[in-house]
Amino acid sequence: MSWSKLKQQLESFLCPALMGKVEYRATSYRYLPDKAGQCYLTVDKKNILNMSDAATLIRWYQTELEVKNDPDIQIPIEHAEIEAIRLETKGQVPEDRLNVIARGRKISVVAKELLSAQSALSKSNFTVEATKFLASPIEESMESKDILLNILALVDRRIGKKRILNMRQQMKAKHPIVQYFYELRLNTL
C-alpha cells in the first residue's frame, strides 16, 4: 500500500478532537530507491514518535533497573499475588515484606515486557504495523503488547469516552509514549 493511501486511511480513523493535532508523516529518499524512508508521529508539529531520533521528548528505557526505579510506573498488586507469596514462604515473611516482594516480582515482569515492546518497536516497520492495525479489530490493538498498535488505537475514534476513562489503571503499566498519547486523548474528552 502506498504511503499516501495508508496515511489517508489512518487519518480517517483519527478522533475528531485530534484532527490536525496528531499527524502521520514520512520522509522519503528520492535519489536512493533502496533506502527506506522513515515514518513518524507528530503532535502539534513536534516529532513525538520516531525511534531513530535521539532528541525525542519521551524517555526510552535502556535497562530493567531504569524501569524498576521509575516513579511514574505504578504497579497495582492484587491480594491473590500476596497470598501466593505467603504460601510459597510458608508464612514466615512479615506482612509488609510480602507486599515488597510481590511488587518486585511484578515490576520485573513489566520491565521485561516494556523493554521487549520497545525493542520490537525500534525494529518494526511503521507501514507494516499500521497496515496490521487497519486490518485487525480495535480491541486486539488495545490489548496488544505492541507500543505502536496501542498508540494507533488510543487516537482512534472507535475508542469512546467511557472506554478511555476505564483504561486509567492499565495505562499505568504501559510505556511512557503510550501514557503520553493516553493523556493526550484524555485531555480531548
Assigned domain for 158 exists: yes
pLDDT at 33: 56
User: What's the rounded Cα separation, in Å, for the pair 37 and 106?
Assistant: 38
Assigned domain for 119 exists: no
Predicted confidence (pLDDT) at residue 163 exceeds the cutoff of 90: yes
Contact 62, 77 (CB under 8 A): no
3-state secondary structure 138-177: HHHHHHCCCHHHHHHHHCECCCCHHHHHHCHHHHCCCCHH
Same domain assignment for residues 110 and 22:
no
Same domain assignment for residues 28 and 82:
no
Torsion sign, CA atoms 139, 116, 14, 26:
negative
Same domain assignment for residues 51 and 129:
yes
Predicted confidence (pLDDT) at residue 83 exceeds the cutoff of 80: yes
User: What's the rounded Cα separation, in Å, for the pair 126 and 143?
Assistant: 19
Same domain assignment for residues 85 and 176:
no
Residue 155 confidence class, pLDDT cut points 50, 70, 90 = very high
Note the pTM of the prediction, 2 decimals.
Answer: 0.74
Domain with 102, as residue range(s), is 64-114
Specify the number of domains making up the chain: 2
Residues 27-37 have a mean pLDDT of 59
Assigned domain for 132 exists: yes
pLDDT digits (tens, 9 = 90+) for 34-80: 555 577 788 998 888 875 554 555 667 788 888 888 887 777 888 89
Same domain assignment for residues 7 and 41:
yes
pLDDT digits (tens, 9 = 90+) for 88-127: 998 898 988 998 899 889 888 888 888 887 776 655 677 8
Task: List Cβ neighbours of 32 (8 Å cut-off, separation of 6 or more).
Answer: none
